[in-house]
Structure 1
Protein backbone atom coordinates (compact mmCIF):
# COMPACT_ATOMS: atom_id res chain seq x y z
CA UNK A 1 0.00 0.00 0.00
CA UNK A 2 1.33 3.43 -0.92
CA UNK A 3 1.67 6.29 1.55
CA UNK A 4 1.21 8.81 -1.25
CA UNK A 5 -2.01 10.77 -1.30
CA UNK A 6 -4.10 10.35 -4.43
CA UNK A 7 -3.17 12.90 -7.06
CA UNK A 8 -5.54 15.80 -7.53
CA UNK A 9 -7.19 16.14 -10.94
CA UNK A 10 -7.26 19.38 -12.92
CA UNK A 11 -9.21 19.83 -16.15
CA UNK A 12 -7.75 22.53 -18.37
CA UNK A 13 -10.16 23.71 -21.08
CA UNK A 14 -8.29 25.60 -23.79
CA UNK A 15 -10.72 26.73 -26.49
CA UNK A 16 -8.85 29.72 -27.92
CA UNK A 17 -5.59 29.74 -25.96
CA UNK A 18 -3.08 32.44 -26.78
CA UNK A 19 -1.43 32.23 -23.36
CA UNK A 20 1.43 30.15 -21.92
CA UNK A 21 1.10 26.42 -21.37
CA UNK A 22 0.47 26.17 -17.63
CA UNK A 23 0.64 22.36 -17.51
CA UNK A 24 4.11 22.38 -15.85
CA UNK A 25 2.75 24.73 -13.16
CA UNK A 26 -0.28 22.52 -12.57
CA UNK A 27 1.91 19.42 -12.33
CA UNK A 28 4.37 21.13 -9.97
CA UNK A 29 1.43 21.73 -7.62
CA UNK A 30 0.58 18.02 -7.61
CA UNK A 31 -2.20 17.93 -10.19
CA UNK A 32 -2.78 15.27 -12.78
CA UNK A 33 -3.76 17.34 -15.83
CA UNK A 34 -6.43 16.54 -18.40
CA UNK A 35 -6.79 18.90 -21.37
CA UNK A 36 -9.87 19.53 -23.50
CA UNK A 37 -9.87 21.86 -26.50
CA UNK A 38 -13.63 21.84 -27.03
CA UNK A 39 -16.36 22.41 -24.46
CA UNK A 40 -18.26 19.39 -25.77
CA UNK A 41 -15.24 17.19 -24.92
CA UNK A 42 -14.95 18.79 -21.48
CA UNK A 43 -18.62 18.11 -20.73
CA UNK A 44 -18.13 14.49 -21.80
CA UNK A 45 -15.08 14.25 -19.52
CA UNK A 46 -17.20 15.45 -16.58
CA UNK A 47 -19.61 12.56 -17.07
CA UNK A 48 -16.84 10.16 -16.02
CA UNK A 49 -14.50 12.26 -13.85
CA UNK A 50 -14.75 14.65 -10.91
CA UNK A 51 -11.87 17.10 -11.16
CA UNK A 52 -10.75 19.04 -8.12
CA UNK A 53 -10.17 22.11 -10.29
CA UNK A 54 -11.30 23.25 -13.71
CA UNK A 55 -9.43 26.05 -15.48
CA UNK A 56 -11.44 27.48 -18.37
CA UNK A 57 -11.75 30.56 -20.58
CA UNK A 58 -14.69 32.94 -20.82
CA UNK A 59 -15.05 33.66 -24.51
CA UNK A 60 -18.03 35.97 -24.97
CA UNK A 61 -20.12 35.05 -28.00
CA UNK A 62 -22.83 37.55 -28.88
CA UNK A 63 -24.31 35.20 -31.49
CA UNK A 64 -25.54 32.73 -28.86
CA UNK A 65 -29.30 33.07 -28.44
CA UNK A 66 -29.72 31.64 -24.94
CA UNK A 67 -26.32 32.07 -23.26
CA UNK A 68 -23.22 34.24 -23.34
CA UNK A 69 -20.54 31.59 -23.87
CA UNK A 70 -19.68 27.91 -23.76
CA UNK A 71 -18.53 28.52 -20.19
CA UNK A 72 -22.15 28.95 -19.16
CA UNK A 73 -22.90 25.36 -20.23
CA UNK A 74 -19.93 24.12 -18.21
CA UNK A 75 -20.88 26.06 -15.09
CA UNK A 76 -24.41 24.66 -15.21
CA UNK A 77 -22.93 21.15 -14.96
CA UNK A 78 -20.30 22.08 -12.37
CA UNK A 79 -22.97 23.44 -10.02
CA UNK A 80 -23.71 19.78 -9.26
CA UNK A 81 -20.06 19.21 -8.28
CA UNK A 82 -19.71 21.26 -5.09
CA UNK A 83 -16.12 20.11 -4.44
CA UNK A 84 -14.89 21.30 -7.85
CA UNK A 85 -13.32 24.76 -7.96
CA UNK A 86 -13.51 26.71 -11.23
CA UNK A 87 -10.88 29.25 -12.23
CA UNK A 88 -11.76 31.39 -15.24
CA UNK A 89 -9.52 33.40 -17.56
CA UNK A 90 -11.25 36.34 -19.26
CA UNK A 91 -10.60 39.45 -21.33
CA UNK A 92 -11.07 42.74 -19.48
CA UNK A 93 -13.13 44.08 -22.39
CA UNK A 94 -15.79 41.45 -21.61
CA UNK A 95 -15.82 42.05 -17.85
CA UNK A 96 -19.42 43.28 -17.87
CA UNK A 97 -20.68 40.14 -19.65
CA UNK A 98 -18.59 37.92 -17.39
CA UNK A 99 -19.83 39.71 -14.26
CA UNK A 100 -23.42 39.14 -15.40
CA UNK A 101 -22.67 35.43 -15.69
CA UNK A 102 -20.92 35.34 -12.30
CA UNK A 103 -23.91 37.02 -10.68
CA UNK A 104 -25.98 33.97 -11.66
CA UNK A 105 -23.37 31.24 -11.33
CA UNK A 106 -20.40 31.90 -9.04
CA UNK A 107 -16.86 30.80 -9.83
CA UNK A 108 -13.97 30.22 -7.42
CA UNK A 109 -11.49 32.66 -9.02
CA UNK A 110 -11.34 34.85 -12.10
CA UNK A 111 -8.12 36.12 -13.68
CA UNK A 112 -7.86 38.70 -16.45
CA UNK A 113 -5.52 38.39 -19.40
CA UNK A 114 -2.57 38.46 -19.49
CA UNK A 115 -2.47 35.64 -16.96
CA UNK A 116 0.39 35.86 -14.47
CA UNK A 117 1.71 32.46 -13.41
CA UNK A 118 2.13 33.68 -9.82
CA UNK A 119 -1.53 34.72 -9.59
CA UNK A 120 -2.64 31.41 -11.07
CA UNK A 121 -0.41 29.52 -8.63
CA UNK A 122 -1.90 31.42 -5.69
CA UNK A 123 -5.40 30.63 -6.95
CA UNK A 124 -4.58 26.94 -7.20
CA UNK A 125 -3.01 26.56 -3.79
CA UNK A 126 -5.46 25.23 -1.27
CA UNK A 127 -5.09 26.36 2.35
CA UNK A 128 -4.64 22.67 3.18
CA UNK A 129 -1.73 22.57 0.70
CA UNK A 130 0.13 25.39 2.43
CA UNK A 131 2.81 24.38 4.89
CA UNK A 132 3.21 26.77 7.80
CA UNK A 133 6.64 26.90 9.35
CA UNK A 134 6.57 27.87 13.05
CA UNK A 135 8.43 31.12 13.56
Structure 2
Protein backbone atom coordinates (compact mmCIF):
# COMPACT_ATOMS: atom_id res chain seq x y z
CA UNK A 1 0.00 0.00 0.00
CA UNK A 2 1.36 3.41 -0.95
CA UNK A 3 1.93 6.01 1.74
CA UNK A 4 1.21 8.72 -0.83
CA UNK A 5 -2.22 10.36 -0.62
CA UNK A 6 -4.49 9.38 -3.50
CA UNK A 7 -5.63 12.08 -5.92
CA UNK A 8 -8.48 11.15 -8.24
CA UNK A 9 -8.62 13.05 -11.54
CA UNK A 10 -12.03 12.98 -13.17
CA UNK A 11 -11.61 14.13 -16.76
CA UNK A 12 -14.66 15.17 -18.71
CA UNK A 13 -13.77 17.90 -21.19
CA UNK A 14 -11.37 20.50 -19.85
CA UNK A 15 -8.38 18.32 -19.17
CA UNK A 16 -7.31 18.07 -15.55
CA UNK A 17 -4.81 15.54 -16.90
CA UNK A 18 -2.52 18.39 -17.97
CA UNK A 19 -1.43 18.69 -14.34
CA UNK A 20 -0.60 15.03 -13.65
CA UNK A 21 3.13 15.74 -13.25
CA UNK A 22 2.37 18.57 -10.79
CA UNK A 23 0.18 16.25 -8.73
CA UNK A 24 2.96 13.66 -8.66
CA UNK A 25 5.64 16.26 -7.80
CA UNK A 26 3.56 17.24 -4.78
CA UNK A 27 3.56 13.61 -3.62
CA UNK A 28 0.13 12.44 -4.72
CA UNK A 29 -0.51 9.01 -6.17
CA UNK A 30 -2.72 9.77 -9.19
CA UNK A 31 -5.71 7.74 -10.39
CA UNK A 32 -7.60 8.81 -13.51
CA UNK A 33 -11.20 8.14 -14.44
CA UNK A 34 -12.96 9.36 -17.57
CA UNK A 35 -16.42 8.31 -16.45
CA UNK A 36 -18.28 9.74 -13.48
CA UNK A 37 -19.78 6.31 -12.76
CA UNK A 38 -16.32 4.71 -12.49
CA UNK A 39 -15.07 7.64 -10.38
CA UNK A 40 -17.95 7.09 -7.94
CA UNK A 41 -17.10 3.39 -7.74
CA UNK A 42 -13.45 4.19 -6.94
CA UNK A 43 -14.52 6.82 -4.39
CA UNK A 44 -16.64 4.26 -2.56
CA UNK A 45 -13.93 1.57 -2.58
CA UNK A 46 -10.92 3.76 -1.82
CA UNK A 47 -11.80 7.32 -0.78
CA UNK A 48 -9.10 9.60 -2.20
CA UNK A 49 -7.49 12.47 -0.32
CA UNK A 50 -8.39 14.79 -3.21
CA UNK A 51 -10.75 14.76 -6.17
CA UNK A 52 -9.89 17.11 -9.04
CA UNK A 53 -12.67 17.34 -11.60
CA UNK A 54 -13.84 19.35 -14.57
CA UNK A 55 -17.14 21.18 -13.99
CA UNK A 56 -19.50 22.14 -16.77
CA UNK A 57 -23.12 23.05 -17.31
CA UNK A 58 -25.32 22.21 -20.25
CA UNK A 59 -28.84 23.54 -20.66
CA UNK A 60 -30.08 20.15 -21.88
CA UNK A 61 -29.47 18.35 -18.57
CA UNK A 62 -32.96 17.23 -17.52
CA UNK A 63 -32.54 16.40 -13.86
CA UNK A 64 -29.40 18.23 -12.78
CA UNK A 65 -27.41 21.41 -13.30
CA UNK A 66 -23.96 20.00 -13.95
CA UNK A 67 -21.88 16.99 -14.87
CA UNK A 68 -20.60 16.48 -11.31
CA UNK A 69 -23.62 16.36 -9.05
CA UNK A 70 -23.69 12.57 -8.68
CA UNK A 71 -19.97 12.47 -7.90
CA UNK A 72 -20.25 15.39 -5.47
CA UNK A 73 -23.19 13.74 -3.72
CA UNK A 74 -21.21 10.51 -3.34
CA UNK A 75 -18.20 12.45 -2.02
CA UNK A 76 -20.26 14.00 0.77
CA UNK A 77 -20.00 10.64 2.53
CA UNK A 78 -16.19 10.93 2.54
CA UNK A 79 -15.56 13.94 4.79
CA UNK A 80 -11.77 13.56 4.58
CA UNK A 81 -11.79 13.88 0.79
CA UNK A 82 -11.09 17.37 -0.57
CA UNK A 83 -12.91 18.43 -3.73
CA UNK A 84 -11.35 20.78 -6.29
CA UNK A 85 -13.14 21.73 -9.49
CA UNK A 86 -11.94 23.54 -12.60
CA UNK A 87 -14.62 25.61 -14.33
CA UNK A 88 -15.26 28.19 -17.02
CA UNK A 89 -16.05 31.65 -15.64
CA UNK A 90 -19.31 31.60 -17.63
CA UNK A 91 -20.51 28.74 -15.38
CA UNK A 92 -19.93 30.61 -12.09
CA UNK A 93 -23.65 31.07 -11.31
CA UNK A 94 -24.38 27.37 -11.82
CA UNK A 95 -21.33 26.40 -9.77
CA UNK A 96 -22.58 28.65 -6.96
CA UNK A 97 -25.97 26.86 -7.00
CA UNK A 98 -24.35 23.44 -6.91
CA UNK A 99 -21.88 24.58 -4.22
CA UNK A 100 -24.77 25.79 -2.05
CA UNK A 101 -26.09 22.20 -1.92
CA UNK A 102 -22.94 20.09 -2.13
CA UNK A 103 -19.49 20.55 -0.63
CA UNK A 104 -16.80 21.85 -2.97
CA UNK A 105 -13.59 22.75 -1.14
CA UNK A 106 -12.02 24.86 -3.87
CA UNK A 107 -12.87 25.99 -7.38
CA UNK A 108 -10.37 27.39 -9.88
CA UNK A 109 -11.37 29.23 -13.01
CA UNK A 110 -9.89 28.36 -16.36
CA UNK A 111 -7.27 28.80 -17.46
CA UNK A 112 -5.97 27.43 -14.17
CA UNK A 113 -2.96 29.26 -12.78
CA UNK A 114 -0.45 26.53 -11.95
CA UNK A 115 0.89 28.36 -8.89
CA UNK A 116 -2.61 28.72 -7.46
CA UNK A 117 -3.26 25.03 -8.08
CA UNK A 118 0.07 24.11 -6.47
CA UNK A 119 -0.64 26.28 -3.41
CA UNK A 120 -4.13 24.81 -2.96
CA UNK A 121 -2.96 21.21 -3.18
CA UNK A 122 0.09 21.81 -0.97
CA UNK A 123 -2.07 23.39 1.71
CA UNK A 124 -4.19 20.24 1.80
CA UNK A 125 -1.32 17.80 2.30
CA UNK A 126 -1.70 16.41 5.80
CA UNK A 127 -4.53 18.79 6.71
CA UNK A 128 -8.08 17.48 7.16
CA UNK A 129 -10.89 19.46 5.49
CA UNK A 130 -12.86 21.95 7.55
CA UNK A 131 -16.46 20.89 8.18
CA UNK A 132 -19.27 22.56 6.26
CA UNK A 133 -19.91 23.73 2.69
CA UNK A 134 -17.33 26.54 2.68
CA UNK A 135 -15.42 26.96 -0.55
CA UNK A 136 -12.43 28.89 -1.78
CA UNK A 137 -13.10 30.51 -5.14
CA UNK A 138 -10.60 31.17 -7.87
CA UNK A 139 -10.15 34.68 -9.23
Common fold by TM > 0.5: yes
Q: Does the CA-based 8 Å contact 1:53-1:85 persist in structure 2?
A: yes
Q: Which 5+ residue runs of structure 1 have no aligned equivalent?
A: 131-135
Q: Taking structure 1 as the reference length, what is the TM-score of the superposition? A: 0.86
Count of aligned pairs:
126
In structure 2, which of residues 37, 50, 66 is the aligned counterpart of residue 40 of structure 1?
37
Q: Equivalences for 1:49-60 in 2 at 5 Å?
A: 49-60=46-57
In structure 1, which of residues 6, 10, 17 is the aligned counterpart of residue 3 of structure 2?
6
Cα shift readout 1:65-124 (whole Å, capped 9, x = no counterpart):
221122111110000000000000000001111111111112110000001111111110
- Higher-Rg member (1/2): 1
Q: Could you list the structure 1 runs, at least 4 aligned residues long, displaced by more than 6 angstroms after superposition.
A: none
Q: Taking structure 2 as the reference length, what is the TM-score of the superposition? A: 0.83
Q: Which 5+ residue runs of structure 2 have no aligned equivalent?
A: 128-139
Q: Equivalences for 1:17-36 in 2 at 5 Å?
A: 17-18=14-15, 21-36=18-33
Q: Does the CA-based 8 Å contact 1:11-1:33 persist in structure 2?
A: yes
Pairwise CA RMSD of aligned residues?
A: 1.9
55-64 or 24-33, which deviates more: 55-64
